[in-house]
Chains A and B, each alone.
Chain A
Amino acid sequence: MFRYILKRFAQFIPVFIGVTLLLFFITTILPGDPVALRAGEKKLSPAVYAEMRHAFGLDKPWYVQYVNYLGDLTQGDLGTSIASGRKVEVIFKETYPYTLKLALAAITLEILVGIGAGLISAIKQYTFWDTLVTLSTSILVALPVFWLGIMLQYVFGIQLHILPISGASSARFSDFAHLVLPAITLASVSTAYAARIMRSQLLEVQSQDYVRTAYAKGLSPTRVLWGHEMKNALIPVVTFVGLDLGAMLSGAILTETIFNWPGVGFTIYKAIGQRDFPVVFGGVTIVLFAVLFVNLLVDVSYAFLDPRIRFGDASEG
């Protein structure tokens, strides 16, 4: 097991270097000067300008900057934002918990509602419930996220006054209430997809031989569903949900903007516009680690759940 974790970490290194190297290279071809941008349309004195470029290491070639970045990273230093002068880790310490909170809320919704709706729809095929799920998921997939967000704000915030419109906390509403609308908005499209995948997979496995065999053995429909059908049908759904969680952990620019949610998506987006490279690299680094961490947790817990699996030996996969 320990060897397996080490191996996973080793695999992470080339991925990390590949992504960051590419990113660093892109910064060399992106026009725009972060230090000049800081001052807006007013110009800085050449001395101050040169000193700032030096302080941020921008006067060095990109590969030297890259080596310095890696060096700082090994000491846990993500660098300093050029736009605000603040430490990058401080910026993300403020924002990442919100991204995490929103991503987990959205993914929970996606799992519960998506899989639940898909399940009902497949079991009650061609009934009212099936039509309802199929129709509503079609509509949900087609709705632009920002429109849905704005409509939710209008209905629950302005008309009904039962949920906060934006922000992560307020005196009037609980923090949980603040999470509801952004989580629904962020989860909306993926939930619809998850439901549709769940439904089609379940319908597909229903006609498989092993399902017929299970029935022939005399198993009750419930046991066939949970013991045989679901296990197989869930696999693509979980793959989809896993990928989606990875995406959510890197922030959600649209949702964060509409709901004024203080997460990393908007922070990174803004940093790109300001050419605030340390923040962009810091964000990418944190997101890479977060995704790795979730993947690793999943794989490791998998070994605990199934005693037959021992990582590192030939039985893997």
Chain B
Amino acid sequence: MSNRIRKSMAVALVLVMVFAVGGLSACKSETETSSGSTGGTLAYYVGEPAYIDPYNTQESEGTQVEQSVFDSLTSFDPLDPATLVPAAAESWEANADATVWTFRLNKDGKFSDGTPVTASDFVYAWNRIASTQTMNTSTNQVEASSIAYHLAVIAGTDEFGNADAGISGLKAVDDYTLEVTLKNSFGDFGYLVGHPALAPVPKALVEGGVKYTDADGKEQTAAYGDMPVGNGPFKLSEPWKRNQYIKVVQNENYYGEKPLIDGIDFLSFKDPNTAFTEFEAGTLDFTQIGEGRIKDAEAKYGVSTNGYTANPGEQVLLGAENSIYYLVVNNTIKPMDQAAMRSAVSLAINRQAICDNVFEGTREPADNVVPPGIAGYAAGVWADAKYDVEGAKAALTEAGFPGGEGAPEIALSYNADGGHQKIMEYVKADLEAIGLTVKLNPTPDFATYLKELDADKIMIGRLGWSADYPIMDNFMFPLFKSGSTDNYSRYADSAVDAAMQAARANPDDAARLAAWQEVNKTVGAGLPVIPVMFYKHHHVASERVHDLTYSAMNLADFTKVWLDPK
């Protein structure tokens, strides 16, 4: 008995000792304060990025940070992404059939360490993305980029955009002229190169590491992947502190218009609801609005008039994003192989009810796959992408199942870890209302879901698609080109394939847009997928933030924003 008491006391003693040690190590010198406060520092919410080195930035979080530090050749106007604006390239032109593109770099362009940006820095950067043998500098291990697909249109890459021997279609004609030869005509290539991941990188720093001075005044070297140096308006002031923050400050060598703020603290959160609580306490300047708090926030902070720009009293952003949520229908599985059946399902869905009841109005019903923020969007272009119960019943009869009689059971699949259950329950109820028998078929997580989707085991599922580049092409070509890896509906129409190639090849901007609109109309007539909702912003800025534009591409423009002194 007495042994056990000793043991109990020993536990307590050990705990106290260990805690004392932990407590000591927890003490540290005062956190440094930001230098000079004329412009202030914007505290900005992000989820933890996967990568911030442009060679592998893939999700919106990493891209957001990365694009504050880098400029690609072109950029998209934050308020009108369909308009291309010069960035690292001051001008560009294509040859007559849009197969060879020449970009003239801004000669003032510099990396934040002061070295000039030249065409060969682009060649080096893009080859890093294309090579399967690229070193991830953060880990010092070979790690192929997951985003080589951006480069698949360039001559000398394979269909996935990979090229281990260097991309033959890339040429630095001189220091300030980059020439890109494409496999096929591609009139929208100027948009593609606006993607933040296609920014230039300085070879010397990628391979040699980035020198910086730490808080104790000591010289340190960080891996490029942890402290990337770019040619954008800001630069990292210290290496990425994983799971906590990434801090950037003004790049004094920036060639473009200097930002008005001193810097940005990208604060990493696991849960956007926690971030919103921080926002309410006044410690964050920009974040997502917490679940169930949209209406409340609208009343309290005021809604932005254009949906994208935040100013005091107009702080809630609700503008449409260039993304779509759709039901992916496997066009090879009965009964969904019938267009009439797909129409019946589409017409039966009350999209507005889902948007209002599940998302507090932060999504809007989709009437085709191309979002309103993309040039070429035309309302109602997919005739059956709307709510019409009578029409649904008629389509069901046309498909040979009047009142649902004799129709096979419809399986609605989704990953249970992504908040799709509620949406699918609404869809199920809507389909049952026209007489169909429906079962929900959740998979435990996205990993499993993707595997089943790939193996053609899913009759009707769900997917989202966000624009990499703000062009119609980016919604049509990947989703509906026969054999495309993203074409999970298995839609295949050789006439549409040919029409898409022709549209791409058209060097005339207006004619190309018209051609894409025609393609969209043709695809929509067969309803290979069922558009459900367009995403909308559900973000809010603090009262001291002026002129912060958060674009339909989900990228903030940090160059115009200014802050009231705290």
Partners in one complex: yes
Q: What residues of chain A have their CB less than 8 Å away from a CB belonging to chain B?
A: 31-34, 36-45, 47-48, 51-52, 55, 80, 83-87, 94-95, 97, 100-101, 104-105, 107-108, 111, 150, 153-154, 157-158, 161, 164-172, 175-176, 179, 231-232, 234-235, 237-238, 241-242, 245, 256-260, 262, 266-267, 273-275, 294, 297-299, 301-302, 305-306, 309, 317
Whether the pair B450, A36 counts as a contact (CB closer than 8 A) is yes
Q: Is the CB of A275 within 8 A of B11?
A: no
Known A-B contacts A42-B486, A235-B8, A260-B274; the reply to A108 vs B15 at CB < 8 A is yes
CB distance from A195 to the nearest CB of B (A): 16
Q: Are B26 and A176 in contact (CB under 8 A)?
A: yes
B9 within 8 Å of A (CB atoms): yes
Further contacts, 7 of them, CB under 8 A, given A44-B146, A257-B274: A32-B446, A33-B447, A40-B146, A47-B162, A85-B138, A275-B447, A298-B11
B11 touches A259 (CB 8 A): no
Which of A42, A104, A245 is the one whose CB lies under 8 Å from B22?
A104
Chain B interface: which size bin? 35 or more
Given A37-B447, A111-B15, A298-B10, verify A80-B244 contact (CB < 8 Å).
Answer: no
> Which residue of the partner chain, among B5, B274, B417, contacts A231 with CB atoms under 8 Å?
B5
Evaluate whether A48 and B50 lie within 8 angstroms (CB atoms) in the complex, with A158-B280, A235-B5, A298-B14 already known.
no
Q: Is B124 an interface residue (CB 8 A)?
A: no
Tell me the total A-B contact number using a CB cutoff of 8 A: 203
A37 with B136, Cβ < 8 A, contacts A48-B160, A166-B269, A257-B270 known: no
Measured CB to CB, the closest approach of chain A to B163, in angstroms, equals: 11
The docked-state distance in angstroms from the alpha carbon of A274 to that of B415 is 13
Whether the pair A33, B139 counts as a contact (CB closer than 8 A) is no
The answer to whether B9 and A297 have CB atoms under 8 Å apart is: no
Chain B interface residues (CB < 8 Å from chain A): 1-16, 18-19, 22, 25-28, 31-34, 50-51, 58-59, 132, 136, 138-139, 141-144, 146-149, 158-162, 242-244, 267-271, 274-275, 277-278, 280-281, 283, 417, 443-448, 450-451, 454, 463-465, 485-486
Task: Indicate if the CB atoms of A161 and B281 lie closer than 8 Å.
Answer: yes
Given A40-B59, A158-B277, A260 contacting B447 (CB threshold 8 A): no
When the two chains form their complex, are residues A309 and B15 in contact, meaning their CB atoms are under 8 A apart? no
B270 to chain A, nearest CB (A): 5
**Complex contacts, B448 vs chain A, CB 8 Å:** 31-32
Note all chain B residues with C-beta closer than 8 A to A241: 11
Query: With A36-B450, A36-B451, A45-B162 in contact, do A165 and B13 touch (Cβ < 8 Å)?
Result: no
Cβ contacts under 8 Å, A55 to chain B? 142
Say yes or no: B143 contacts A234, CB within 8 Å. no
In the assembled complex, the Cα of A32 lies from the Cα of B161 at a distance in Å of 25
A97–B10 CB distance below 8 A: no
For A83, the chain B residues whose CB sits under 8 A away are 50
> Are the CB atoms of A100 and B22 closer together than 8 Å?
yes
Q: Which residues of B contact A154 (CB under 8 A)?
A: 277
Q: How far is the CA of A258 from the CA of B445 in the complex (A)?
A: 22
A39 and B33 CA atoms in complex are apart in Å by 39
Report if A40-B58 is in contact (Cβ < 8 Å); known contacts: A33-B447, A235-B5: yes
A263 to chain B, nearest CB (A): 9
Report which of B7, B34, B280 forms a contact with A238, defined as CB distance below 8 A.
B7
Question: Is the pair B243, A294 in contact by a Cβ cutoff of 8 Å?
Answer: no
Please report the C-alpha to C-alpha distance between residue A179 and residue B270 in the assembled complex, in whole angstroms: 17
> Chain B contacts of A302 at CB under 8 A?
3, 6-7, 10
B450 and A41 form a contact (CB under 8 A):
yes
- Are A31 and B451 neighbours in the complex by a CB distance under 8 Å? yes
Contact of A42 among B15, B443, B485 (CB under 8 A): B485
Q: Chain A residues near B161: list those with CB within 8 A.
A: 45
Query: Do the beta carbons of B139 and A274 come within 8 Å of each other?
Result: no
Asked whether A260 lies within 8 Å of B271 as measured between CB atoms, the reply is yes
Task: Report how far A312 CA is from B118 CA in the complex, Å.
Answer: 72
The smallest beta-carbon distance between A227 and chain B, in angstroms, is 10
Interchain residue pairs A-B with the least CB separation, the first 10: A32-B447, A45-B160, A238-B8, A43-B485, A262-B243, A231-B5, A31-B448, A302-B10, A104-B19, A306-B6
- Shortest distance from the beta carbon of B114 to any chain A beta carbon, whole Å: 29
Cross-chain contact B4 with A167 (CB below 8 angstroms): no
